[in-house]
Amino acid sequence: MTKKPDGRAAGWSGKRGRVTAVLCLLVAVLLVFPGLVPQTPGRAGSLLETFLPWLGLAVPVLLTAALLRRSPLATAAVLLPAAAWCGVFGGLLFSGGAAGDLMVVQHNISDVNPDPAATARALAGTDADLIAVEELTAPALPAFAAALAADRPHHATKGTVGLWSKYPLSGVRPVDIRPKGVGEGWNRGLRAAVRTPHGEIAVYVVHLPSVRIGPATGLSSGRRDESAGLLAEALAAEPLDRVILLGDLNSTLDDRGLEPVTSLMNPTGPGFAFSWPAKFPVARIDQVLARSATVTRVRSLPATGSDHLPVAADITL
């Protein structure tokens, strides 16, 4: 217990903790309204939104500061960011409902995967109706074809993305999401119509450009954002009503850089399903989105030889 200069015990006081209370209010506002943070400098807004759930770690820190200051004001103010975090992310903590009509798996398998055959076998061991992969290299393709063909005989590849399906595919074509200045050899998008027992569905498999984070430049996501805009144009022009989007979008769904895409799709069901980096996942940048359908549950699967974790999702049609 702290002491006053005259030796008396220092008690709780409403005159202390005002700075902590202000910080509590600031954290709560950022959690609920991250769009208030401008993109410049260094796309600060997108950087905050990418790691937004982790802002909740400020709550125990602020609570500790309030208790050490013996401040009723600051202690009560901690309820603001706590309530804000629960309001924004609390629903993701609860498991989804029953299994949907389709189970899908999305995985960036890594073009430097030391054992693509083992990764292919791991994906083959899931119950997925659809399996989408990115960074699929020519040397790794035979291993995936061999492992997945038995249960998913229908497949399509374009450039470095691929799709394996239990159900027939048609209308397979590349989706051009190349940012300006990128050559024609850069093929990271495909579209296929999947004829399921529940009707025909357009399935897109994409890999948006990578982003970089640096102390001088902040978040470098210009090409990723441009590519997301091109993908949004393709989705908006899709004639089929029901659409499933599988891909490494190189950001979380909170990132405003993906808003052209996410605004066209339905909200995703519960589950944080952090997928990157595989050794200590801090964000889900591998996404499963749907239109005129519902992604009821998302979860990450055990690590493979990739620097990403696979992501599985149930979809109700």
Q: Is the pLDDT of residue 214 over 50?
A: yes
Distance CA 312, CA 43 (A): 30
Mean pLDDT in residue range 236-250: 98
Positive or negative, the CA dihedral 222, 223, 228, 231 is: positive
Distance CA 297, CA 314 (A): 5
Mean pLDDT in residue range 243-247: 98
Question: Of the ranges 12-16, 33-37, 172-176, which one carries the lowest mean pLDDT score?
Answer: 12-16
Query: In the prediction, which pLDDT does 90 show?
Result: 92
Both tokens of 120, joined, read 């292919």
Dump the DSSP string for 199-225.
EEEEEEEEEPPP-EEETTTEEE-HHHH
Beta bridge partners of 307: none
Q: What angle do CA 315, 316, 317 make, to 5 degrees?
A: 115
Give the pLDDT band of residue 3 (cuts 50, 70, 90): low
Query: In the prediction, which pLDDT does 98 show?
Result: 62
Mean pLDDT in residue range 266-287: 95
Positive or negative, the CA dihedral 106, 110, 111, 116 is: negative
Q: Is the pLDDT of residue 174 over 80?
A: yes
Query: In the prediction, which pLDDT does 9 show?
Result: 45
Q: In the 8-state DSSP scheme, what is residue 317?
A: -
Q: Is the pLDDT of residue 52 over 70?
A: yes
Question: Of the ranges 135-149, 202-216, 230-244, 291-305, which one carries the lowest mean pLDDT score?
Answer: 202-216
Which residues of 123-271 form beta strands (DSSP E)?
130-134, 154-158, 161-165, 169-174, 189-196, 199-207, 212-214, 218-220, 243-248
3-state secondary structure of 43: coil
Domain map (residue ranges) of the chain = 18-93, 102-316
Give the pLDDT band of residue 219 (cuts 50, 70, 90): confident
Query: In the prediction, which pLDDT does 180 show?
Result: 93
Both tokens of 179, joined, read 């940012």
Mean pLDDT in residue range 53-60: 97
CATH of domain 102-316: 3.60.10.10
Average pLDDT, the chain: 93
Residue showing tokens 């690590």: 303
Mean pLDDT in residue range 138-144: 97
Mean pLDDT in residue range 304-310: 98
Query: In the prediction, which pLDDT does 42 show?
Result: 81
98, with CB counted inside 10 A (0-12, 13-18, 19+), is: exposed
Q: Is the pLDDT of residue 186 over 60?
A: yes
Query: In the prediction, which pLDDT does 60 show?
Result: 97
Q: In the 8-state DSSP scheme, what is residue 276?
A: B
Condensed to tens digits (0 to 9), the pLDDT of residues 89-137 reads: 998 887 666 678 999 999 999 999 999 999 999 999 999 999 999 999 9
Q: Is the pLDDT of residue 7 over 90?
A: no
